[in-house]
Amino acid sequence: MAAVLPQRPFTVDEFHRLCEVGILDRDERVELAHPRLDSVLMVIDVADTTLHYDRNLKNSHYGAVGIREAWLVDLSNRLIEVFHDPSPESGYTQSASFPSGPSAESISVPGLSVQVDDVLG
């Protein structure tokens, strides 16, 4: 079971990063008000004018600190990018792009699958 937290800051080193949605491990030890990084299953960011910043800086940082999966909803190009296999050196070692049409599926959250067209409208 997972908890979904919209617009929740995650403490990353001495910085706060704000993603549009965080999906956390639903465990009685998880503090939902101030989640620990080890409880974050995935983060989702939505980008239009912030695409370069979200893809290159935020996602690299998420992966470097071990967040298991990051989704980037790219409004300009009408696709969802999924990043997984975090690496301290490179952010994420694996990624996939899902254009309009197919479903995007999570690797970290069992059963989470969304129609790209439903997200992009």
pLDDT number for residue 28: 45
Could you tell me if 62 and 69 are in contact, meaning their C-beta atoms sit under 8 angstroms apart? Answer: no
What pTM does this model have?
0.81
Phi (first) and psi of residue 106, to 5 degrees: -85, 145
Predicted pLDDT at 25:
67
| 13 Rama sector, left if φ>0, alpha if ψ -120 to 50, beta otherwise | left
Q: Identify the pLDDT of residue 21.
A: 67
What are the per-10-residue average pLDDT scores of the chain (121 residues)?
56 57 60 65 88 89 90 93 92 93 89 90 82
Rounded to 10 degrees, the C-alpha dihedral 56/57/58/59 comes to 40
29 SS3 class: coil
For tokens 């792009």, the residue is 97
Q: Which domains does the chain have, with CATH numbers?
A: 2-120 (3.90.1570.10)
